[in-house]
Structure 1
């Protein structure tokens, strides 16, 4: 019986109408997170029931109730539900709110202890006027939850907190999670001083996913072994040295997904990522704010024959070499333009692209094209991409980069599809020599069949550029232009643009020009 109500609430009706809803329960909803901090049990109870009622009301709206169940006054239908359903309902609540349900009645006292997913976040403490007290309460709360839970394993453990207030406690919590065979560890730790994770984290046999965001040097033990780890995400960490960083990557023999985001490689000279099982690799370098003398970087050698997805974004502050990539790799390369030391960056860009010589699909930015052709003496080192059939430009193409794009297309003799996902920069007028072609790429004569142009504004520069493509692509079959609704609703402008594109000379007489609304 729910002690705070003398009559059943509408929540009872919502819950009692459910028949075996394990696969039908609604997804998680955003709920208040300050529930457990209240010292008054009755307001807590009311808030909990309101939250659960919101969940179930939403569920009720999503499914058709085929049967009406009669409810006797005073009967608690919620507590009569099987444990499995109640556990499923509690799994949609934040950990603090799920634990707070223990005060509802004796029936609910221990239900939360079976919870397999735990999440703790101290970010709500920093706006509190009783900061020190709240920090202490947070630490005690996490500790008590770990001590009182009855589940034998932890499927997912999420922790976001400032380490400076509770370094020893953080180590204890993580050790407890590892002891309970945690499968996914998601840590966001703000450390102003060097902080070492407990060594047991680095030889866990149960971990499948490790996501670590930590604003300090990543202290690594002498021995690292993740025999089952499938996913590793590192963000904002500073790698300490070559040998320990190499141990980290070598200690993940079955890793399938690796993401290194905004990390510092400054203490490294050379590191190798050679993981046969790796299928997805993302490297996102920190924004560059230093001087050009800081571009020494390190050598990152990547050897993975089973890789399917590769993404790099940054200033090429490190030298990246790719080996043994197969044709099935979907590559995405974004290189930010840095005027200083452009020759050095050009050489690094060429070295990076040389490793993509077998791939069939590449997504690149305008900056990447600029970087490739910013130094004349590197062009001979750029290979011919015999397998590449699809090229997508992920950023707006600047008019000054059209010439460099044509130079790149000369090295893509079998290109079949060319996508301008952000179109041409309409704000920058073209100069007289911007589109002057030294030689027409072979693919325009032999293989290019489809051009997709997005973000069309019907500017004169865009029309002239598309006209250029239509003139030189003699076997082009279709040009798909994606434009705004306002353009399509202006029949006069639409007809004018269409007529202009169809005006001779036109390389391919059979090319279909289609306009689509976006």
Structure 2
């Protein structure tokens, strides 16, 4: 047999062993089509006779109106899709649309696409005024036994029926929703016996003064409130402004009581609007307290710091058993001298993250938490750290060395080393190395371009400068790199 024949046989053997897309069974092809944008999936119908109706068996549809210019096309396209598509086997459905004057059309879409066997439902429905008539969801949605994930963004009342039972729902996310009343909201939570993750973001609490979140299976709870709904900055507003704006803010807060024996992760982000308390906080292992506020209001309003500081302390008291804690710059700033003296002992805290903006190592709130954490081993400065030697945005200053020298900190991670306030940042690194007795690793990620010759040289010079600093822990490893 000549060489050409051998080559031809090998090529034929490879081709016979390869699998072409047309050889795949219909269920596999429909799974592939389900990952495509719906119009692309429909476009495959022209490929061949076999593909003509194949897209009709897809299990996932995602609809997004896109640009304003294409809005009219979208409104015409969706009902045509409903006419030809059999939604009975649809497992995942998402819709992003500005409702405005098309509430009746949206009600028809929801009724058509949401079947009793739906597994994942994501609805982002903007462009509605709170005074408008609520959207109507199909009754079978609220007793759906297959739904596992439900996300709803709706600046309107979320109208709830008297009977709610999501047997399999594990993840629930509500954004911009106006909850109807306390009873219906608590019934919604109670009607999710398998709920593991709950997110409440920018909720309008106008109809709910108190809410009890009670679940023995809930593992992760995230509460996010908007900064503009700040009730602490209304002290200096005149009566007219308070009637026009403050009244809404006053109503848009809630007394939230959290009760659950299996809650592992808790996160709060906001402007200390709603009161939050725990009945059984010991189970929480990972907590985030990200108080947010406009810096100008922080400094102009003398009542802000003690009020916010008390809020942060009360939350931290409930979460004293956490192993991992993330706090924002503003949270630490709020811990004034009167507040941090009330801090609990964090006996189990091992890992601390400081987020949102660069922080001074002399910040009293930061040093107070470190002092109250005898088992703390790792601190992440996610936006950098520097040394401030006067009273500023970071709160009262405090000499960090006496506290740091008595810690068991083994790892420090500094991100976003910016070079912009180089000496102050370098002074913080110097203080950490000189104060920490058992530090094993100092990891610094620098901002900038590490691929340029000057960038590499700059990093090497910084490394040599840090390496020459005296270290209390002689075994400490210094790691420098540019951020990706």
TM-score by length of 1: 0.74
Q: Does 1:508 align with 2:481?
A: no
After TM superposition, give the deviation of residue 357 of structure 1 in Å: 0.6
Give 1:361 shift.
0.8
Q: Distance in 2 between matches of 1:265 and 1:66?
A: 68
CA shift, 1:127, in A, is 0.5
Q: Post-superposition shift, 1:66?
A: 7.8
**TM-fit CA distance, 1:88:** 3.4
* 1:384 CA drift (Å): 0.9
Shift of 1:436: 3.8
**Kindly tell me: are residues 422 and 111 of structure 1, through their superposed partners in 2, closer, same or farther at Cα, counting changes over 3 Å?**
same
**Equivalent residue, structure 1, for 2:333:** 370
Instruction: Evaluate the alpha carbon distance shift between residue 312 and residue 65 of structure 1 in structure 2; reply closer, same or farther with a 3 A threshold.
Output: farther
Offset from partner CA, 1:164-203 (integer Å, 9 cap, x none) = 4443443343334443411111111233323233233222
The equivalent residue for 1:127 is: 69
320, 323, 326: which one aligns with 1:360? 323
Following the alignment from structure 1 to structure 2, what is the Cα–Cα distance between the partners of residues 391 and 450? 11
Per-residue CA deviation, residues 458-491 of structure 1 (Å, 9 max, x unaligned), is 6111222222223332233332333353565234
Aligned to 2:457: 489
The aligned counterpart of 1:478 is: 441
CA distance in 2, matches of 1:512, 1:65: 58
Aligned residues: 433
Q: Contact 1:327 / 1:387 at 8 angstroms: preserved in 2?
A: no
Q: Which residue of 2 aligns with 1:96?
A: 39
Unaligned runs of 5+ in 1: 1-63, 71-76
In structure 2, the partner of 1:252 is 192
User: CA 1:165 to 1:113, structure 2 compared with 1: closer, same or farther past 3 Å?
Assistant: farther
> Does 2:46 match 1:108?
no
Q: Are the equivalent residues in 2 in contact too, given 1:153–1:180 (CA < 8 A)?
A: no
Pairs within 5 Å for 1:75-94: 82-94=25-37
Deviation for aligned residue 1:355: 1.7
Pick the aligned partner of 1:117 from 41, 48, 60.
Answer: 60
Answer whether contact 1:396 1:425 (CA < 8 A) is retained.
no
Q: Say whether the 8 Å CA contact 1:444–1:475 is kept in structure 2.
A: no
Aligned to 2:14: 67
| TM-score, scaled to structure 2 | 0.79
Q: Is the 8 A contact 1:91 1:117 kept in 2?
A: yes
Matches within 5 A, 1:8-407: 67-68=14-15, 82-124=25-67, 126-128=68-70, 134=73, 137-146=76-85, 149=86, 152-190=88-126, 191-192=128-129, 193-198=132-137, 199-288=139-228, 292-293=233-234, 294=246, 296=250, 297-326=253-282, 329-337=285-293, 339=298, 340=301, 341-342=303-304, 343-371=306-334, 373-374=335-336, 376-399=337-360, 402-407=363-368
For the 8 Å contact 2:125–2:153, the answer to whether it is kept is yes
CA contact 1:488–1:494 (8 Å) conserved in 2: no
Given that 1:413 and 1:447 are in contact with CA atoms closer than 8 Å, whether structure 2 keeps it comes out as yes
Query: How has the CA–CA distance of structure 1 residues 222 and 274 changed in structure 2, closer, same or farther, with 3 Å as cutoff?
Result: same
